[in-house]
Structure 1
């Protein structure tokens, strides 16, 4: 008989587009999110955790119109399994944290307070092509108010976002929350007499203002232009007169909010919807001022155009204004780390009734990268105190030492590898980032003492000190077993 072929060993590798997070990364992210959560909690927002899996119907707004609805998301069909759903139903990993909120708001609308304030933090998944810095699983941090049509809800979100950035360590002057309104743009389109079939094209060209400037946008709105490669880009087909209100909108930023609002009023002309949008921005500016959020923290800025195709009213983003060095050593501004706005149509998909909502999403990985760039994260997280093992038969004594340290709030562990080679135990402690190692052999046990080795000081002495200094400042001391906790606390305190 032929022998069965040996099965190949699986490759120990992370799937493409995914990554693993180890102690330092996890700790820094958790600490940052904890600080943000405190701000949200202080503003009356409740935490919400939803399932990582949603029905495709709940995520339907993100899916293309294709036969197999898994482009852009990780989706699969239910099979006929005991306790499972209906065979053939489509399920998917959540694409963001907003669609699950809409489903929750609809499903529990009779039980939740209205308005409902919630914040959520967790991973989301997108079935997209990965690239440098672009992963298929990443964290989001959202805060939303569902059920309030008042622009006070938008102002509250903007002020809270500014507070959250400061809570994680971003100084005033290093960030700016910028605010615009889709209704203002609708008024500009109306004033420019843009046809409905041209509106999306106009929005796309407006979004290029930062890249191509006034003349570039003017060309794109009218007859077209040549790109950097010399290729022809067709224009939208507006006349220069029609493009005028659009350019006035893009250039409406004034010396302060009052000047900007006056310029926007001129840009929308006689449009009623445009005037309504300007009035909403005026109210938001007044409320932010009343909340103590000055214009150096949050400002009206018509240059915020991303997401205007999705949002229905106020739209905002948080931008970090300090410079960093890119991979080629060039200075560049860090850029946006959060965005949001009013989206009054999302819950309506489930209920058939208009439910106003507004919210913001912070890019967790991007904000954490900004903190590291500013030196506000990345400090080495201290490892545990390592209790070494000199005698296998006395493991209970070593566990007792670790337990005493833990009871005092000190992170500690007992070495659980092969204790035969003591040097390997110290190498392990070094790899763990341990600040202290505890040593007790049979002789020390009989005398009721322990050796406490200051590993951080020891490393410093070994690298810098002379022999005389090393002798005068030993990194290892002997103390009574009863004084173990006090001595460790003294060293790490």
Structure 2
């Protein structure tokens, strides 16, 4: 009986997990450039950096996600060898609360800090919606007054402008969770269900940017909303009268995703205060907004920069007072080809109860979080980021691979690097010189350095200007003529290598 043919081992399919993406060199450099500008503003305001780990014990994170219709309550979790559950952080605020509580005796309050890092959410991925993304936060812990909230709003306005986003292209929109609570109390949202209906209402209102008024009304109602894929989201269970009162009180019937109509936001707050008073609801939240408005206006931040808007929600459950969002107002084309406003690139608010979960003591706190990837996309749309290309390295070619020659080539590279010039020695197979030149061309190397035995004996080096060489080569018709002409290539003294490379790079830059 003939032996059966052995099956070839199946190749492992290279694939990234759903909702996760690789990042290119250009994206990484653009992110670093943007983060540097944000950090400069935060430092100017007197904030200091801190870093917390990506993993936290799950009970320390709490259940505060805006969406809880996914396994593991929206987080990625693993069990440690001591059977304690740990989760990847879903934001940078809950870990900060743990850090403050754990070090409360060493930290000087108010504690003013910033940090950036990756966060993870076990949510359904979609266009522009990833399970791993970067945030950049600033927080003030231990400051009970609304002046801390006012400062956050002013700092975010300054950050937008430091990134090159001009006035009129952004606005910081401000509301108060106490205002929303008062509105919900006035329409008799359930209070005896552990806060479930209240939270469902907040999450529904927070979806305006995604689903528009019609979608929000569906989420507020009893039937809920079905998305394009057929997934159903349960409604908050309000009746039509309750929905209309909430829509009217928060201004969703008039708002257009972050823009304002030119009406004074002071008048908006006055009308809101009057309406809540007539309903017998609390006006504490409106009074806090009026105080913040007075502070920012006195500091020169008018409503074209900071706008008080009762339609702002913020979906996270832990907010207890003022909430704010940074919105970009310019138009972009979405995946459906429609012109839409870019929308939110960050937000935050006051979370006075988060540290108290650990300490049992009131520790007021307020903070702001920027969505780094989303903001980077916006800046690219505006042509404000990644415009300066990073120069590819100068390439030192390898003509001989004996130890002495390799040492000489490496010395050239180190001399160039020591002078602040990006440089590398060719690391592939040096037998085929044309392959080294193709590598330099694909890499975009501006200069190639060549030294064979003859050049080394005469203390000479060949420099090839790849940019000028391409220009000259365009006029050459035959390979023989090309080899004879050596376009863009010339000889220098080896001792002058660094100076000559600097000169050539300067000429290329000016051209």
Q: Could you state the TM-score of these two structures normalised by the residue count of structure 1?
A: 0.84
Aligned partners of 1:190, 1:272: CA distance in 2, in Å? 10
**Partner residue, 1:98:** 93
The partner residue of 1:162 within 154, 157, 173 is: 157
In structure 1, the residue matched to 2:40 is 38
- 1:417-451 residue CA offsets vs partner (Å, 9 max, x unmatched): 11111111122223333222212222332333322
Aligned-partner Cα distance in 1 for 2:502–2:144: 54
Give yes or no for contact 2:140–2:365 (8 Å, CA) kept in 1: yes
CA distance in 2, matches of 1:355, 1:7: 60
Distance 2:216 2:283 in 1: 24
Establish whether residue 338 from structure 1 lines up as the match of residue 346 from structure 2. Answer: yes
Q: How far did 1:148 drift?
A: 0.9
Matches of 2:94 and 2:167 in 1, distance apart? 33
Cα distance change on mapping 1:28 and 1:239 into 2, 3 Å: closer
Partner Cα distance (1:226, 1:442) in 2: 76
Residue 494 of structure 2 aligns with which residue? 481
State which drifts further: 216-225 or 331-340: 216-225
Report if the CA contact (8 A) 2:314-2:348 is conserved: no
- Checking the alignment, whether the CA contact within 8 Å between 2:91 and 2:119 is kept in structure 1 is yes
Bigger shift: 45-54 or 199-208? 199-208
Shifted more, 453-462 versus 5-14: the winner is: 5-14
The question of 1:144 aligning with 2:130 is answered no
1:108 aligns with 2:117: no
Q: Among 379, 384, 406, which residue is 2:393 paired with?
A: 384
SS in 2 for 1:269: helix
Whether contact under 8 Å (1:191, 1:270) holds in the other structure is no
Q: 1:101 deviation in Å?
A: 0.5
C-alpha distance in structure 1 between counterparts of 2:8 and 2:485, whole Å: 62
Against the structure 1 CA distance between its residues 459 and 115, is the aligned structure 2 distance closer, same or farther, given a 3 Å change threshold? farther
User: Superposed, which structure 2 residues align to 1:427-442 within 5 Å?
Assistant: 427-442=438-453
Give the match for residue 407 of structure 1. 418
CA distance in 1, matches of 2:504, 2:397: 17
Number of the residue aligned with 2:3: none
Q: Tell whether 2:252 aligns with 1:257.
A: no
Q: Which runs of 5+ in 1 are unaligned?
A: 80-86
1:234: Cα distance to partner?
A: 9.0
User: What aligned pairs does 1:317-356 form with structure 2 within 5 A after superposition?
Assistant: 317-356=325-364
Q: Deviations over 1:250-287 (max 9, x none)?
A: 15966233222222222322578743222221222222
Contact persistence 2:447–2:464 (CA under 8 A)? yes
Aligned residues: 477
CA–CA separation in structure 2 for the residues paired with 1:166 and 1:316: 17
| Residue equivalent to 2:509 | none
**Structure 1: distance between partners of 2:326 and 2:98:** 27
Aligned pair in 2 of structure 1 residues 147, 7: CA closer, same or farther (>3 Å)? farther
Cα RMSD over matched residues?
A: 3.8
Asked if structure 1 preserves the Cα contact closer than 8 Å seen for 2:220 and 2:235, the reply is: no
Distance apart, 1:325 and its partner CA: 2.2
Long gaps (5+) in structure 2: 1-5, 507-511
Q: 1:63 to 1:308 in 2, by over 3 A?
A: closer
Is 2:364 aligned against 1:369?
Answer: no
What is the match of residue 88 of structure 1? 83
Distance 2:17 2:455 in 1: 51
From 284, 292, 314, the equivalent of 1:284 is: 292
CA offset at residue 362 of structure 1? 0.9
Q: 1:340 is paired with a residue of what secondary structure?
A: strand
* CA spacing shift, 1:398–1:25, aligned 2, 3 Å: same
Task: Say which is worse superposed, 185-194 or 36-45, in terms of deviation.
Answer: 185-194
Superposition deviation, residue 105 in structure 1: 0.6
Tell me how far 1:181 sits from its aligned partner. Answer: 1.0
